[in-house]
Amino acid sequence: MNVQRIRRLAIVAAFAVAIFASPFRLLAQGDVVLKAADAQKLLPPAVYYKGQSASTQLRNSSGVKFADGAYVLATLVDTSGYSSDVQAKYQAYLITETPIKIGGQSLPAGVYGVGFIADDKFIVTDVGAHDVFTASSSTDQDIKRPTPLQVTTDAAGGFRLYEGRKYVTFNR
């Protein structure tokens, strides 16, 4: 009789620990969304893309610092010196120190030009302006204060990269 009570108590205790520890484990992950003031300390004032140097708009930057110390950073760029076909698809510079998935597409660590284009698409290009992939983007009509560029957490997990009301989701 005592052995059965001890066994039941152990099982109940194990379930209680599992239930109560899971939210703390999620909080302990330590992924942090960076505001512009934090991201601009890490980003350069100008970046290389397709044979030119473009000024970054550090006031319009954001990113994520993952619990393991890896970063994903994004900043809008001044594309006024580029041709109109490059300007159409290159609005921001994306730096990722770790592989991520954007809209379900795998993206290795590296430096990329990105932009929101027609037909609710998000394009990723390498620094030579060659297309890497295109993913679907969404529009968030409920966002209260759209900004030129920001990163937020996504309720379904991962993060959202916004340009105004348009966004794509990304995660590791």
The answer on 155 and 70 residing in a single domain is yes
Would you say residue 130 has pLDDT above 70? yes
Tell which residue, 99, 98, 134, has the closest CA to residue 114.
134
The answer on 37 and 9 residing in a single domain is no
- Return all residues near 170 (Cβ < 8 A) that are at least 6 apart: 72, 100, 101, 102, 103, 158, 159, 160, 161
The answer on 118 and 54 residing in a single domain is yes
| CA distances for 76 relative to 6, 63, 86, 113, 156, angstroms | 61, 12, 14, 10, 26
The answer on 78 and 1 residing in a single domain is no
- Return all residues near 17 (Cβ < 8 A) that are at least 6 apart: none
The answer on 123 and 42 residing in a single domain is yes
Q: pLDDT grade, residue 142 (50/70/90)?
A: very high
Report strand pairing: 150-153 vs 46-49. Answer: unpaired
Percent of the chain whose pLDDT exceeds 90: 81
Tens digit of each residue's pLDDT (9 = 90 or more) over 24-76: 344 346 999 999 999 999 999 999 999 999 999 999 999 999 999 999 999 99
Token pair listed for 45: 């004032």
Mean pLDDT score, 80-98: 95
Mean pLDDT score, 143-165: 96
Q: pLDDT grade, residue 3 (50/70/90)?
A: low
Spatial separation of the C-alpha atoms in residues 155 and 153, rounded to whole Å: 7
The pTM score is: 0.82
The answer on 60 and 9 residing in a single domain is no
Mean pLDDT score, 112-129: 97
Q: pLDDT grade, residue 124 (50/70/90)?
A: very high
Q: pLDDT grade, residue 120 (50/70/90)?
A: very high
Tell which residue, 165, 169, 136, 153, has the closest CA to residue 64.
153
> What letter would DSSP give residue 34?
E
Spatial separation of the C-alpha atoms in residues 64 and 96, rounded to whole Å: 9
